[in-house]
Amino acid sequence: MLDTAVIRQLFPALQRQINGQPAVYLDGPGGTQVPQGVIDAMSAVMIEGGSNLGGQFVTSVEAEQITDDARQAGADLLGAQPSEIVFGQNMTSLTFSMSRALAATWQPGDEIVVTNLDHDANITPWVMAAAERDVTVRTVDFTPDGPLDYDGLEAALNDRTRLVAVTAASNALGTRTDPARIAASARAAGALSYIDGVHNTPHSLVEVGAWDCDFYVCSSYKFFGPHTGMLFGKQHHLEDLTAYKVRASSSEGPGKWETGTQSFESLAGVTAAVNFIASLGEGEARRDQLVSGMTAVEAHGDAVTDRFLSGIAELPGVSVAGVTDGSVARTPTFAVSVDGVAPEAVAAALSDRSIFAVSGHYYAVAVMERLGVLDQGGLTRLGFVAYNTLDEVEVAVAALGEIAGSG
């Protein structure tokens, strides 16, 4: 199990107090706090001086090394090769870029598959690209208190399917999917698989090689790093697809997908964030440490989930959307409702108690539509990550009980 007391000492933001009370950061699904090592790595680049790529002087050479180090760190985290790692502003911008490249290979009458379990950044880019190419979009449903409809997914596939875009874990409900199964189904139909791993990456071990997916995309600010997006693409896709880029940019490998100048200080932060996760595990190689560390992270998440759901079950008037019976794997992320209290008011009441949580749809628009709560303000989301403690679970449950009682 994780030693959260030790972990928390590494995060300056977690020492903050609000009105004399310790701040309880339950907004991890929207972005985690960062350890001191990330802060130091990013600061060092700016303190020591930075330059762009392509020069023969020391700071330019250092920028090259920072980029190479970040690619290797990303590859270790995702179970890939450095030549398969692309960086960008965020997952959304990377997905819009890739949607244009893939759409250029589609023909009128082709089809793509998306799901209503996904964050909108893995829906809208594909829907817009499909509309431009006269391509049909098929949407796969999920069961509100259960998993993705895998039978429906497989039924939606045919010899005209070109892409299957599915999340690895819902950022609203916490529900996890099976990327290996999704990729295999897509591959059997002759389609590519694009896995949104933004919410999954902080909670579960990523194994893109074992899953054999074509693309996997995530954002480091969800796993204790800076605001930088990361995309894995099988090397032959990155080489063969046409990137929308300026002529001066590289025409090879991951570099051709990285528009403009990257934030080198952020790339240094990505490496430091991966190193932090690796420090939670054991082993000689960093990948081995990451496998061990993420195994501990997942066990911690399961303990948090059990404690939270058992506590909520004792609260009249408080409900959790999504899987609550343990029948489907999930992350410790909970979309809750309180009878008679608007989601925004629940979030505000939690804030009054120094508990940071958000209300609304959190860009999971299709999820809220499927649950029938979008027009009522969505739901209030509480998300726990590796630095959250079981004591904080108790604090959150007690606060929800008080809010329900006063409502």
Residues 353 and 251 in one domain: no
Look at residue 285 and tell me if it is in a domain: no
Mean pLDDT score, 279-305 = 98
Judge whether residue 253 has pLDDT over 60: yes
Residues 319 and 379 in one domain: yes
Short-list 177, 208, 385, 360, CA closest to 294 = 385
Instruction: Note down the domain range covering 328.
Output: 4-35+291-406
Mean pLDDT score, 184-211 = 98
Residues 24 and 159 in one domain: no
**Residue 195: phi, psi to the nearest 5?**
-105, 120
CB 123 within 8 A of CB 165: yes
Mean pLDDT score, 67-74 = 98
Rounded CA separation 306/300 (Å): 10
CB 159 within 8 A of CB 130: no
Residues 23 and 44 in one domain: no
Judge whether residue 78 has pLDDT over 60: yes
Look at residue 371 and tell me if it is in a domain: yes
pTM score of the predicted model: 0.97
| pLDDT tens, residue by residue, 336-348 | 999 999 999 999 9
> Helix 58-78 to helix 36-48 angle, to the nearest 10 degrees?
160
Residues 195 and 50 in one domain: yes
Look at residue 231 and tell me if it is in a domain: yes
Residues 24 and 57 in one domain: no
Judge whether residue 66 has pLDDT over 70: yes
Residues 124 and 31 in one domain: no
Q: Which two tokens stand for residue 65?
A: 């090394």
Domain boundary among 252, 277, 302: 277
Q: How many domains does the chain have?
A: 2
Q: Which two tokens stand for residue 248?
A: 């001066």
Residues 252 and 114 in one domain: yes
Residues 127 and 154 in one domain: yes
pLDDT at position 248, please?
A: 84
Residues 244 and 321 in one domain: no
Rounded CA separation 238/235 (Å): 5
Look at residue 367 and tell me if it is in a domain: yes
Name the percent of the chain lying above pLDDT 90: 93
Tell the residue number behind the tokens 């596939």, with chain if given. Answer: 157
Look at residue 286 and tell me if it is in a domain: no
CB 160 within 8 A of CB 110: yes
Look up the CATH number of the domain holding residue 158: 3.40.640.10
b/e 309-326 (16+ beta carbons within 10 angstroms → b): bebbeebeebebbbbbee
Tell the residue number behind the tokens 């990013």, with chain if given. Answer: 42
| pLDDT tens, residue by residue, 92-142 | 999 999 999 999 999 999 999 999 999 999 999 999 999 999 999 999 999
Look at residue 284 and tell me if it is in a domain: no
Look at residue 320 and tell me if it is in a domain: yes
Domain boundary among 229, 252, 277: 277
| pLDDT tens, residue by residue, 13-65 | 999 999 899 999 999 999 999 999 999 999 999 999 989 998 999 999 999 99
Look at residue 144 and tell me if it is in a domain: yes
**Residue 233: phi, psi to the nearest 5?**
-140, 135
Domain boundary among 243, 277, 311: 277
Question: In the predicted model, what is the mean pLDDT of the chain?
Answer: 96
Judge whether residue 90 has pLDDT over 90: yes
Who has greater pLDDT, 406 or 338?
A: 338
CB 71 within 8 A of CB 268: no
| pLDDT tens, residue by residue, 201-221 | 999 999 999 999 999 999 999
Q: Which two tokens stand for residue 403?
A: 């809010």
Residues 273 and 298 in one domain: no
| pLDDT tens, residue by residue, 156-181 | 999 999 999 999 999 999 999 999 99
Residues 325 and 193 in one domain: no
> Helix count (H) and strand count (E) of the chain?
14, 15
pLDDT at position 405, please?
A: 87
Look up the CATH number of the domain holding residue 382: 3.90.1150.10
Q: pLDDT band for position 407 (50/70/90)?
A: low
| pLDDT tens, residue by residue, 302-322 | 999 999 999 999 999 999 999
